[in-house]
Amino acid sequence: MKVQVAVVQMVSSEVLADNLAHAESLLAQAAMGGAQLVLLPENFALMGRDEKAKLAIMEMDGDGPIQSWLAAQAQRFGLWLIGGSIPLAAPDGRCYAACLAFNPAGQRQARYDKIHLFDVDLAGGESYRESRTIAPGRTPVAVTTPWGQLGLSVCYDLRFPELYRCYAGAELLAVPSAFTQQTGAAHWECLLRARAIENQAYVLAADQGGLHQNGRQTFGGSMIIDPWGQVLARLDQGEGVALAQVDMEFLQRCRSNLPALQHHRRQACCGAYQEI
């Protein structure tokens, strides 16, 4: 079985309506290219002036203009749509960075809340504290598509391979992101290819890619990677769509010829190490 998939790269601004209009245009481009499964990047609806900006547009789960927009776009273009991340209200006044999956009928099929939060101080004075406004999720989530299981994650999750091991056996992995220029240049591609190789799965990675109104520079480099670690499609900077064909027969050959998933000794590897 083969299917055309797409990842959408954006340079989202501080204006919600503008971002949704840009995203709609890019989704139309993906649909024209034959895509049946499309991934939007993290924060596709808003890259605000500061960390609190997302709280002004956060929605209650199941009710809000961004969620309605995602459902409508999935239905309009007749595709599976993975909505990178949007802010959904958390009980403590913060929001969850929620990745939502919709089927071609516009029905929501899954919600994943970003588990690992980007609280870091990078070289050059670049600093982030996502936990000030984002509450961490607690549960890995995979959604059943016509082409197999799709494991959901968001951005900084990429650095934690144990999350993706929870999806062992899934055919597809989604990584919507807003990687910084600094970390993206150093680690983006090698981490994505590692997740594809070690899980013998197709990886769809949609990144933000450019200079935003808030002064933040994101890396771009959105790509689609096969289970052998080969990059099938890639973007550089700026808005765009990358398309590639996912081949489930090729995936099964990879897993059959090199049955690493069958050889994984989870209990032996995940216990406490022995000090000598």
Three-state secondary structure along 195-252? HHHHHCCEEEEEEECCECCCCCEECCCCEEECCCCCEEEECCCCCEEEEEEEEHHHHH
Share of the chain above pLDDT 90, in %: 92
The question of whether 114 is a catalytic residue gets the answer yes
State mean pLDDT over 190-197: 98
Domain ranges of the chain: 2-270
Q: 112-121, pLDDT tens digit by residue?
A: 999 999 999 9
Kindly name the residue from 54, 59, 114, 254 that is annotated as catalytic: 114
Predicted confidence band of residue 163 (pLDDT cuts 50, 70, 90): very high
With a cut of 70, say whether residue 104 has pLDDT above it. yes
What local confidence, expressed as pLDDT, does residue 233 receive? 98
CB–CB of 175/204 below 8 Å? yes
Kindly name the residue from 130, 155, 239, 254 that is annotated as catalytic: 155
What local confidence, expressed as pLDDT, does residue 266 receive? 77
What local confidence, expressed as pLDDT, does residue 272 receive? 67
What local confidence, expressed as pLDDT, does residue 264 receive? 87
How many CB atoms sit inside 10 A of residue 259's CB?
Answer: 11
What local confidence, expressed as pLDDT, does residue 50 receive? 87
What local confidence, expressed as pLDDT, does residue 268 receive? 72
The reported pTM is: 0.96
User: 2-270 maps to which CATH number?
Assistant: 3.60.110.10
Q: How far apart are CA 19 and CA 176, in angstroms?
A: 16
With a cut of 90, say whether residue 26 has pLDDT above it. yes
State mean pLDDT over 72-97: 98
The question of whether 42 is a catalytic residue gets the answer yes
What local confidence, expressed as pLDDT, does residue 153 receive? 98
The question of whether 155 is a catalytic residue gets the answer yes
State mean pLDDT over 243-260: 97
With a cut of 80, say whether residue 267 has pLDDT above it. no
End-to-end C-alpha distance for the chain, whole angstroms:
50
DSSP label of 83: E
Beta bridge partners of 247: 2
